[in-house]
Structure 1
């Protein structure tokens, strides 16, 4: 061990270099920002019905109501407990995004009444366009209606 004189020890300045830590934190932040939208929509288990005219709607800024087979509703990935909460949530999303298109992702085993109730609440909240998502059925050939 090197022995330093008292004057030399006082001149030494101890610093921690945080540049590598900052680099790692920024990379992690970017990874979380990119993967979060996929995680939010991926947790809701919905078995979509098939149709011969698949939807081509962009899902970026649309308001999405998901209905599971047991009747649970989600608004943009957030659980909804009652009709008033759904109504207020849709109104808030319309005011925030300015988009009046509501997409309903209903499980094919969900009750028809739940879908109609969600559509009715969306219209009451100010939605101008309603859409129901499906998955394309390769066995059925058809033309899309525009």
Structure 2
């Protein structure tokens, strides 16, 4: 009977390809789950939403409603009448972003929405925290 001789394989090198694969998967997961919040200059404490979409907003105007109910158009304080005049000058296809503080009265939000509806603006985004 012949004896089987077991040979021991010596490890001179470490195979790093599986390690690199795992690191790339982790990198992709981190990059896809990371959120980047674009905050304005006016301090607005945004309400939270469970679902949200992020869109490319290159041509946009921003309307703010702060906790005291004051309305801002592009960081400039305005009354609702002046806001309506400024929004009337904006193209209907241009995106309007509404940043309303969660502590503001719902009536202030509805007043701004009513102006947008009256003027026919349909490209509207309401900013929330996820």
Any stretches of 5+ residues in structure 1 without a counterpart? 1-37, 137-146
> Of residues 40, 58, 75 in structure 1, which corresponds to 2:56?
58
**Higher CA-based Rg:** 2
Higher helix share: 1
RMSD: 2.0
Uncovered stretches (5+) of structure 2, i.e. residues with no partner? 1-37
- Tell me by how many angstroms 1:133 deviates: 0.7
- Write the distance in 2 (CA, Å) between the matches of 1:131 and 1:54: 10
Relative to structure 1, is the Cα distance of residues 100 and 127 closer, same or farther in structure 2, using a 3 angstrom cutoff?
farther
Residue 133 of structure 1 is matched in structure 2 by 127
**TM-score normalised by L of structure 1:** 0.56
- Aligned partners of 1:135 and 1:62: how far apart in 2? 19
Q: Pick the aligned partner of 2:116 from 112, 119, 122.
A: 122
Shift of 1:118: 0.2
Alpha-carbon shift at residue 58 of structure 1 (Å): 2.8
Asked whether the equivalents of residues 59 and 94 of structure 2 are also in contact (C-alpha less than 8 Å), the reply is no
8 Å Cα contact 1:104/1:130 also seen in 2: yes
1:99 is matched with 93
Q: How many residues align?
A: 93
Q: Report the equivalent of 1:83.
A: 80
- Give, in whole Å, the separation in 2 of the partners of 1:75 and 1:115: 14
Give the structure 2 partner of residue 73 of structure 1.
71
Residues 46, 68 of structure 1: 8 Å contact kept: yes
